Chain A
């Protein structure tokens, strides 16, 4: 277990989902620091503000007003200092299109929001314990979509 807390950033416009997310990390016994933004625009201004530390992993909802998750993904991957952030897509949708698109654009993992709180905890725990720095090299389409 690292001494430094794992820095986690969530971009999701849904208040309830943000609540579940926060509560899940409160219950997971890993040292984390969770920061949440309400949409894509907020996310990009947060990431580009030099005062804010960069997250270890970013959870990105796809369906957001103003700026969608895909738009954010494209922008992040274009910026030299952001492109190495591990990105987990965190969406209600499990459409082939969304999965294919985000994979091609360089997201690390695709999580379909589960409908069970204990499942949510399991998934999030698994995602943050993976060392994405190393994992990215073995990236492939078969284990991109995370299922337990």
Chain B
């Protein structure tokens, strides 16, 4: 047996949770990436601004220097040369910074180098002009040329700086573009995934909720079942055991303790502690059943005695089987206190034995009747016949009369014994049912009665009888007895007319006297024109030894009709009698088909 899991959705739920966790991971990583990109972007922006700032600064310092130079040239006042004096150092400092900022960009480094050369060229030109003015070695014309050359270098510097700034801006823009596509894509996917996760969580929540309510319901059901089993165990005097093969854990139900005369769960369940209660002679039975459990895959029913804690002897029966779910095999044992059942069985067996004994006695009584009683009677009769044959002539008239009376008494006794034997045979004989042609049976019965039929000039009429399943010799006896009866109780001087009728009938048509209305019956009636009888005796005539006439009128034993009743009963049928004094009698036999 396999246990079906109550919640098949457990796996589904697990899958959903794993999926949700993955989604959360995804969302987190996307957010992390997003943030990181944003960070990088702003860093890049700052970086780019720093470079631009330094470049602008370099340009502005150069402009300052140029402006100072111009002022000096126009006014020859050295105060204008103040910014120019510090410009070289400051430009260099900016240059170092720019060098560091563009360390990763080869192109920009090269640009920077050429920028520096241009700056130095510009500064050299300035120096040349200033030097010429200070030493007054430069003429107006030469100075103008210098200034023009300076302007051209300055233009180049501007171009170079613009070029570098453009590069930084385009690099930033490129980065910004890439960043934007990522940042635009990720919020949508994150949002979708977040919504999906939320949905999954809601679904899971609903599922868990319904599962929990089912679980609650099952739990209540289980509790009720548990309680009813406990109750049933007490009423039914049985117990259950559970043995988990995986853990080896053994559990006994409360009622097992009660049946052993102990408080529930008063000792630790173990085979050893249970065996202590088992009758010492029967421990081997329980042990063997236990040992064979794994071999046969179940515990076969076994019977043993138990001595309860209060010393009372009880009879137990136990059996068990394995049930399994996916993880563990479980052995469920059931035992029952069968003491009352056992004792009544024992009593029944005793009664049976007594019954068998009395049947045997009855059989030996039959033997006595059939052999031992017949033997002396037969001898008496034979001796009487000897006396009559040999010495009748020598007897007095009275002696002859006595002898005749002795003879007729012996004859009556013979009939009685024969009838009794027949009756007991009807009771005892093997009931072999066979397909029998009732017409043949009737013929045989008439043959048996041929002497009486002839003597009384009887007319026997019969309809065609069917072939049915009966105990052949008993039905023949039935015909002999009933026809014999009709012959015997005929009116003196009037030839008996005996009619045998037969019909098949459904029991439901005769609800008055047939209780089992499903059956079909064969109704055989034997009617005569004899003396009949008063209907009030209709039932008594079937009682053993019951007679309506004394022996001087009609010789009989009062057994014949009892035999008929017995035969009808042996066929699960019955017989009834109807009589009208002076008109006749009808005996009707109903045999089930």
Contact = CB atoms under 8 A, between A and B. Distances in A.
Q: Does chain A bind chain B?
A: yes
Interface stretch (A102-110, A115-123, A129-137): A115-123
Interface stretch (B18-26, B309-317, B367-375, B456-464): B367-375
A119 B386 CA distance: 11
Interface stretch (B169-177, B328-336, B377-385, B513-521): B377-385
Question: Which one of A20, A63, A115, A116 has the greatest number of beta carbons of chain B within 10 Å?
Answer: A115
A113 interface: yes
Contacts of B389: 117-118
A92 B378 contact: yes
A63 B382 contact: no
B321 interface: no
A93 interface: yes
Interface in A49-75: 63
Contacts of A14: 375
Contacts of A17: 379
Given A117-B389, A118-B389, A63 B381 contact: no
A115 B371 contact: no
A4 interface: no
A92 B381 contact: no
Interface string A83-97: 000000000110100
Interface residues of A, number: 17
A120 B379 CA distance: 12
A17 B385 CA distance: 14
B414 interface: yes
Contact of A93 (B370, B381, B410): B370
B386 A117 contact: yes
Contacts, number: 35
A116 B385 contact: yes
Given A14-B375, A92-B378, A115 B370 contact: no
B370 A16 contact: no
B380 to A, nearest CB: 8
Question: Which one of A16, A63, A116, A119 has the greatest number of beta carbons of chain B within 10 Å?
Answer: A116
B385 A92 contact: no
A115 B386 contact: no
Given A93-B370, A95-B370, A115 B382 contact: yes
Contact of A117 (B377, B385, B414): B385
Contacts of A92: 371, 374-375, 378
Interface in B374-400: 374-375, 377-379, 381-382, 385-386, 389
A92 to B, nearest CB: 5
Given A115-B414, A118-B389, A16 B371 contact: no
B377 A115 contact: yes
Contacts of A118: 385, 389
Contact of A116 (B370, B375, B382): B382
A96 to B, nearest CB: 8
B375 A115 contact: no
B382 to A, nearest CB: 5
A64 to B, nearest CB: 12
Interface string B400-441: 000000000010001000000000000000000000000000
A89 B192 CA distance: 114
A23 B387 CA distance: 13
Contacts of A115: 377-378, 381-382, 385, 410, 414
B382 A117 contact: yes
A29 B6 CA distance: 104
Given A95-B370, A115-B414, A20 B375 contact: no
B261 to A, nearest CB: 56
B379 A16 contact: yes
Nearest to A119: B385
Interface in A10-66: 14, 16-17, 20, 23, 63
30 contacts: A14-B375, A16-B382, A17-B379, A20-B382, A23-B386, A63-B371, A92-B371, A92-B378, A93-B370, A93-B371, A95-B370, A113-B378, A114-B378, A114-B382, A115-B377, A115-B378, A115-B381, A115-B382, A115-B385, A115-B414, A116-B381, A116-B385, A117-B382, A117-B385, A117-B386, A117-B389, A118-B385, A118-B389, A119-B385, A120-B382
Given A23-B386, A115-B377, A115-B410, 13 more contacts: A14-B375, A16-B382, A17-B379, A63-B371, A92-B371, A92-B375, A92-B378, A93-B371, A95-B370, A115-B385, A116-B381, A117-B382, A119-B385
Interface of B: 370-371, 374-375, 377-379, 381-382, 385-386, 389, 410, 414
10 pairs of A and B residues whose beta carbons are closest in the complex? A115-B381, A117-B385, A115-B378, A116-B385, A117-B386, A92-B375, A16-B379, A117-B382, A92-B374, A93-B371
